[in-house]
């Protein structure tokens, strides 16, 4: 299953439809509070994770959530996405 974690409903819906139309099982949630129980209870093969969940655009929220995810499952691949990134954040 592909897990999409993004606070923007348009991004969640678009990615969910894209993956489902390609035949993948996918689930979309709006926050880390929703995501962590899913990661704990269900087999997740890929996570698409937004870096920003508030007006702050530093990416700190997403990076903190990434650390929490890796504590639960260190081997799951995670793709980080953001609409507010900088080169420094990307590196």
Query: Could you give the percent of the chain with pLDDT greater than 70?
Result: 82
CATH number of 66's domain: 3.40.50.2300
Please indicate, yes or no, whether the overall pTM of this predicted structure exceeds 0.75: yes
pLDDT at 55: 63
pLDDT at residue 87, rounded to an integer: 53
The total number of structural domains that make up the chain: 1
Q: Would you say 31 and 7 are in contact if contact means Cβ atoms under 8 Å apart?
A: yes
Q: What is the pLDDT along the chain (91 residues), one digit of tens a residue?
A: 999 999 899 999 999 999 999 999 999 999 989 999 999 999 999 999 988 765 665 667 778 889 999 999 999 999 988 865 555 554 5
The domain of 13 spans 2-90
CA dist 37 and 31 (Å) reads: 11
């Amino acid at each position: 299953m592909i897990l999409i974690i993004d606070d923007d409903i348009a991004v969640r819906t678009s990615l969910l439809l894209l993956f489902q139309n390609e035949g993948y099982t996918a689930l979309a949630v709006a926050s880390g509070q929703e995501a962590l129980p899913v990661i704990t209870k269900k087999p997740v093969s890929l996570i698409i994770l937004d870096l920003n969940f508030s007006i702050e655009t530093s990416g700190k929220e997403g990076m903190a959530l990434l650390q929490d995810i890796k504590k639960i499952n260190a081997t799951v691949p995670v793709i980080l996405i953001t609409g507010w990134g900088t080169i420094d954040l990307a590196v």
